[in-house]
């Protein structure tokens, strides 16, 4: 694939690979700019539901104009390839940053706030991300968060593709209702962002398991180790906010992402 030109995009290098698609760095030869191009897996192109979900990602993100959401430029199907062209983010993923160890408190709050603002914009459009994790959060060279991969996102009012009992997402970041295959709402993203905040501050996953089944049981039944027991410089107000974000019962979480933003702001004062 490297060196090939698809439509008006010259493929330069592979930057990511998943089960549903592969992401490449590419040059838009028409506009002479660098982009990221996500090409749907060939084995899924003939799967109508998979193709619809892939195309819906582009349609979803196209509705969202926010500095903390990675912009989509084009979606097309040509020469046997279905692809999405989007902004190329020069920087590192949050997961890469966490690999170096827990973040400073002010940095964790700043990145958490930016992510919450991007998700709040999506929620205002009635769009749930459903796969928030540090691997889907990029930080550019100016320190600006860009949320990626709306491939599992869902308009809140539509139930045609994802039925109850269809478990989609990344297990360590799933809310209890998501892990149980129940219908989800905005509060599943609040839970997942809480997990990301926990990871930023501790460098650890809050729920552990040797396999998927054990991890799901931990999410449903176990309480994570207290952040302040792992790191005593974390303000109690910040830990309280994160614990509320990760309440097992969604009714006990923040009702909206705007409330999370308010609590995170208070934690900085």
Closest to 264 in 3D by CA, of 230, 233, 241: 241
Asked if the model's pLDDT at residue 29 lies above 60, the reply is yes
Q: Which part of the chain is CATH 1.10.510.10?
A: 91-268
Query: Looking at residues 182-193, what average pLDDT do you find?
Result: 94
User: Higher model confidence: residue 203 or residue 81?
Assistant: 203
CATH of domain 5-87: 3.30.200.20
Residue 160 confidence class, pLDDT cut points 50, 70, 90: very low
65 as an active site residue: the answer is: no
For residue 67, the model assigns a pLDDT of 95
Considering the chain, what is the average pLDDT of its residues?
88
CA 239/CA 265 separation, integer angstroms: 13
Query: Looking at residues 244-250, what average pLDDT do you find?
Result: 97
Asked if the model's pLDDT at residue 203 lies above 80, the reply is yes
From 17, 28, 76, 131, the catalytic residue: 131
Q: Which part of the chain is CATH 3.30.200.20?
A: 5-87
Considering only the top CATH level, what class is 91-268?
mainly alpha
Query: Looking at residues 118-147, what average pLDDT do you find?
Result: 93
Share of the chain above pLDDT 90, in %: 63
Residue 249 confidence class, pLDDT cut points 50, 70, 90: very high
Burial 135-170 (b: 16+ CB within 10 A, else e): bbbbbeeeeebbbbbbbbbbbeeeeeebeeeeebbb
Phi, psi of 54, deg, nearest 5: -65, -50
């Amino acid at each position: 694939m490297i060196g090939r030109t698809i439509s008006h995009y010259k493929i330069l290098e592979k930057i990511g690979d998943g089960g549903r698609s592969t992401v490449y760095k590419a040059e838009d030869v028409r506009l002479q700019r660098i982009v990221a191009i996500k090409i749907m897996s060939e084995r899924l192109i003939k799967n109508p539901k998979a193709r619809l979900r892939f195309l819906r990602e582009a349609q979803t993100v196209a509705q969202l104009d926010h500095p903390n959401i990675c912009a989509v430029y084009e979606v097309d199907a040509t020469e046997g390839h279905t692809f999405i062209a989007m902004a190329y983010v020069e920087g590192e993923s949050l997961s890469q940053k966490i690999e170096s160890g827990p973040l400073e408190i002010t940095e964790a709050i700043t990145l958490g706030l930016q992510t919450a603002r991007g998700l709040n914009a999506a929620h205002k459009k009635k769009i749930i991300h459903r796969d928030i994790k540090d691997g889907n959060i990029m930080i550019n060279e100016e320190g600006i968060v860009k949320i990626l991969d709306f491939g599992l996102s869902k308009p809140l009012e539509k139930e045609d593709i994802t039925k109850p009992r269809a478990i989609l997402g990344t297990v360590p970041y799933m809310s209890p209702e998501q892990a149980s295959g129940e219908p989800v709402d905005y509060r599943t993203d609040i839970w997942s962002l809480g997990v990301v905040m926990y990871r930023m501050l501790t460098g650890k996953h809050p729920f552990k398991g040797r396999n998927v089944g054990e991890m799901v049981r931990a999410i449903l039944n176990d309480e994570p180790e207290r952040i302040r027991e792992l790191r005593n410089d974390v303000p109690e107000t910040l830990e309280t906010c994160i614990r509320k974000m990760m309440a097992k019962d969604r009714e006990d979480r923040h009702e909206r992402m705007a409330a999370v933003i308010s609590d995170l702001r208070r934690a900085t004062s």
